[in-house]
Chain A
Amino acid sequence: SQKIEQNSEALNIQEGKTATLTCNYTNYSPAYLQWYRQDPGRGPVFLLLIRENEKEKRKERLKVTFDTTLKQSLFHITASQPADSATYLCALESSGGSNYKLTFGKGTLLTVNP
């Protein structure tokens, strides 16, 4: 069956450093992968989408890579700030026949210390 693993439940880093979060998957061949941010008591908010034919995608201080051979995505936040503290979720496309939907990882709680 399909399985998504976000390797770290929690990650603590110092302000200004680069945070790297990992998302691994098995028994999938997703056409794309998405990353979301979730703050306590709120719904997830979309950050980035990367397609299977894209190796890397950037948005401001965020960078996502997608390695379909390793079945892994890395999510980087450069020059991290305390405001980046949140839970980050990866989500992969899954299909139920012709209907596409997302399957989410359990998330990694990132804490950026000042």
Chain B
Amino acid sequence: NAGVTQTPKFRVLKTGQSMTLLCAQDMNHEYMYWYRQDPGMGLRLIHYSVGEGTTAKGEVPDGYNVSRLKKQNFLLGLESAAPSQTSVYFCASSYSGRNTQYFGPGTRLTVL
């Protein structure tokens, strides 16, 4: 099992550009999450999904959109990137909301 994988690993964008981060899990988990991690701020939840076709806002959702068209995939989109979105993004999945979360390796995004 690959666990949780994230694509790409690194990306540099210019302000105003758009991109999509892909998260995939092969553990048949219902719940999936997108976090961002910044120095001194810890992990903050952006959006999450409790099942295929559902999404919900987390703590810091502004400037991001998500989709969960297939159970194994959770996409995070930035429509118009801003320097404030420079961060490391982690995807995670869990069997249910009250279970252990399994994290991907992260995507380091720089917005110039």
Contacts and interface: CB of A to CB of B under 8 A. Distances in A.
A102 to B, nearest CB: 6
Interface stretch (B40-48, B70-78, B79-87): B40-48
Given A43-B92, A106-B41, A107-B42, A99 B102 contact: no
How extensive is the interface on chain A, given as a class? 20 to 34
Nearest to B108: A41
Interface in B11-48: 33, 35, 40-45, 48
Given A89-B42, A89-B43, A104-B43, A46 B98 contact: no
B100 interface: yes
A43 B104 contact: yes
Nearest to B48: A101
SS class of chain A's interface: helix, strand, loop or mixed?
strand
Interface in B45-103: 45, 48, 50, 56, 58-59, 90, 92, 96-98, 100-103
Of the candidates B44, B96, B100, the one having the most CB atoms from chain A within 10 angstroms of its own CB is B100
B93 to A, nearest CB: 11
Contacts of B90: 43-44
Contacts of B100: 34, 46, 49
20 contacts: A41-B106, A42-B106, A43-B4, A44-B101, A44-B103, A46-B100, A89-B42, A91-B101, A99-B48, A99-B50, A99-B56, A100-B96, A101-B45, A101-B48, A101-B58, A101-B97, A103-B45, A104-B43, A106-B40, A107-B42
Q: Which 4 A-B pairs have the closest CB atoms?
A: A43-B103, A100-B97, A106-B42, A104-B43
